[in-house]
Amino acid sequence: MRNFLLFKLLKQSLIYILFAQIVITPLAIAQGLPLGARIYQSVDTERNSVSKIMAEYWRDGKNGQDGIIFDSPFQPYYEANDIEVMTQERKSLRVSTSSENMAGTFYNFPKPISMRNKSLRFRVKVSNWSQIKELSLILSSGDDSFTRSFTLDLTEKLHGQTNNNWVEVTAPISNFFSYNSPNMLDIYSALWRVRDKGVSRVETEIAGFQIIDNGSIARISITIDDGDLDSLIAKRIMDQYGMKGSLFIDPSAIGQKGFLSQKQLDLFARDGWNIGGHDINYNLRAMSTQEVDSFLGSTASYLKDRQYAGREYFAYPGGLDDPRINALVLKHFKYGLNVDSTSNAGSTISDYRINRMSIDRWTTLAQVKKWIDDAKSNHEYLVLNFHTFSAARSTDENISPEFFLEIIQYIDTSQVLVQTVSEAVESINTTQLSEEIKGFPRISLLPIAQVDRITLIDPRRQDFGVGLAQTVYSNPGATYLGQELQFLANYNDGNYALKGGLGIGVLSGKNYLVGDMTAMKFVNANSLIAFGVYGDVVNSVLGLQQGVTQQGWNIGGDLYNDYGGLSLSGTQSYFTQGNTQTGGTAKIYAMTAYEGVHIYIKDRYYINSQADTPLFYSPQYYQRLTTGLGWRKVLGENIYSGWVDAGQANAAGTKIFAGSGRFALDHVQNKAITYGVALGTDISAASNYQYYYVDAHFKYTF
């Protein structure tokens, strides 16, 4: 009988493999499925199966579409079941968040690089800025584990952006937050990380990575927005130290209550200050194109008529960056200034995105001193932006005259060159041009080199926890209550994995082993082997009445390609009433065009050492062939998972309908706590083994 079983499984496996090549692969190609879907499917034990599916996705340009390049060095970083990474023309990268609300892709430099006196420049585009929870560029020191790293958090810096609009970002290394004492002289990897808020997916695209030499000179500019009367206080303080600044004003506010008069503005101009354009109403987006064009045109005309130094500059209200507004601003002005809380490379300037650090009532002197020190040591161009200077006001954008004086005094003692914006930009552009003429361009493209693809899973993925469940079993005989406590594991280091839950259950005062835990070893990019143990109560009428339980083990492996795979296993179950069940399962599965949904065909076969015992469903041999649909979808903070299948069972020659299903809803309270409910049924045999169940469960991950 055992030889017959092995022969039967081998024969069915060959049939399934042939089916996969003939049917599933063409089907997946026709549906345009993401390439590189890798699914690790461990064996399941009927009711206890939670379809332990985890996967990596990537786009492989060898057989890809949409101009994807095969040798892109950017690789998926997170373990998730639907991360997608696409590369176009080797310099453009598209990353979409997954059903786990995150995505990450990283790049290993051909050799470690130094970021001393360097800045990074790149462009970024986001499909829905309102759904961004985190948007970061992370540089790793020493290796690609990112345990020692520099992080540029763009979540707050790039506020008020327009969906699907390219935004240019230039940031010196000093604008990155350091974690665990990284070494800027030894940068090994760059990671692009995205998280959404759980309402909808977010697609990001980054392009044009450049490493910029900051040059040899540090500069500081002082800018003041709005043209409030308090600007006179700032001017008097700066006059004491021989410093000149840059005012950005709205001509419609000149002479109004609380604003500078025309005579006072002319005084600033005669003393060498820049005077540029601004909008104090912060309503450009609400205006029509014609209204914006008219406003900017009249503002530019006012500044040009008076020949103000700074007339070619416009400060976006609130750091606004809108493609429609940008185009109109650059129609009337040469440069645009934002307030995205980053400094500039000391050797190059973006015409329409000159970065400024905005100082308000929440800014500390220590923060400002650090910005100044960083600019000095890294040869950056730092622009400090202010609004009002009153000892009596309590608005967010106001600071006291005393605080402003302390800042100016520190700048003076630091001996950094202080210039108006127009002076600084002209000096930087002239220096950059002369350096390029000498044959030493200031800007160098980030090297793009071919690298080998490897299995990439976050090495820090070590999720363990505990789970509690209250389960109600029901069959034609009665209803029973069971309690379960399990140890949970979701560990994966790229070579080995441990998945599942295993613990103790209590039913009618009797203890039993409950759950299933599977250990996996990844043999190569397309195969794994697995070993698991499991336990459960026996859900027959007499089994629940008399507390019959089973424990067992299984061993098997998976073969998988880009669209699905084949899972084979052998299993042995031991019942408390002396029965031994020997068998195996063959399962073929394939991804569908719908995210998080797969289809499968499963054939289960076993024999019993004790035939026809009513304590458990035990025909001499049993075969069950079913077709099913499984899913795991994350929508917001809820996880919907389960499966449903149907087919036929052959119990020692008697053929009957077989079907089962599980529907689970889990809510992720936070990173540690998850709770939910599940209900299911199995009607695969005679009424003695037909049952339903519902449970309420709670999981805590530590």
Q: What pLDDT shows up at residue 100?
A: 65
Q: Are 258 and 229 in contact (CB under 8 A)?
A: yes
Q: What does the alpha-carbon distance between residue 646 and residue 195 come to, in Å, rounded to a whole number?
A: 38
Q: Are 77 and 85 in contact (CB under 8 A)?
A: no
The pLDDT averaged over each successive group of 10 residues in the chain (702 residues) is: 44 45 34 26 25 24 24 40 40 68 74 85 89 90 83 84 86 91 88 83 80 88 95 96 96 94 96 95 84 94 96 86 83 91 88 90 94 94 95 88 97 96 90 48 39 29 81 83 89 75 90 91 82 89 85 90 83 92 93 82 94 86 93 77 92 90 86 86 73 89 78
Q: What pLDDT shows up at residue 493?
A: 62
Q: 585: which strand partners? A: 569, 604
Going through 237-338 in order, the beta strands assigned E by DSSP cover 246-249, 274-277, 313-315, 335-337
Helical ranges in 271-361 per DSSP H: 289-305, 323-332
The answer for residues whose C-beta is within 8 angstroms of residue 534's C-beta and 6 or more apart is 45, 48, 502, 513, 515, 516, 517, 551, 552, 553, 554
Of 553, 518, 551, residue with least CA distance to 536: 551
Q: What pLDDT shows up at residue 562?
A: 59
Q: Are 98 and 78 in contact (CB under 8 A)?
A: yes
Helical ranges in 559-687 per DSSP H: none
Q: What pLDDT shows up at residue 636?
A: 62
Query: At residue 276, what are phi and psi to the nearest 5 degrees?
Result: -120, -175
Q: What pLDDT shows up at residue 75?
A: 43
Angle (CA) 68-69-73 rounded to 5° is: 120
Q: Mapping DSSP to helix (H, G, I), strand (E, B) and coil, where does residue 327 land?
A: helix
Instruction: Note the Cα 471 to chain centre separation in Å.
Output: 35
3-state secondary structure 512-539: EEEEEEEEEEEEECCEEEEEEEEEEECC
Rg of the chain taking only CA atoms, in angstroms: 33
Q: Are 486 and 503 in contact (CB under 8 A)?
A: yes
Domains of the chain (ranges plus CATH)? 2-56+455-701 (2.40.160.40), 75-213 (2.60.120.430), 219-445 (3.20.20.370)
Helical ranges in 463-523 per DSSP H: none
Both tokens of 603, joined, read 């054939």
Query: Other CB atoms closer than 10 Å to residue 101's CB: what's the count?
Result: 23
CA atoms within 13 A on the CB side of 360: 10
How many Å from the N-terminal Cα to the C-terminal Cα in the chain?
Answer: 46
Both tokens of 605, joined, read 């076969």
Query: Other CB atoms closer than 10 Å to residue 66's CB: what's the count?
Result: 10
Please report the DSSP string for 15-49 in residue order.
HHHHHIIIIIHHHHHHHTPPTT-EEEE----GGG-
Of 545, 540, 547, residue with least CA distance to 691: 540
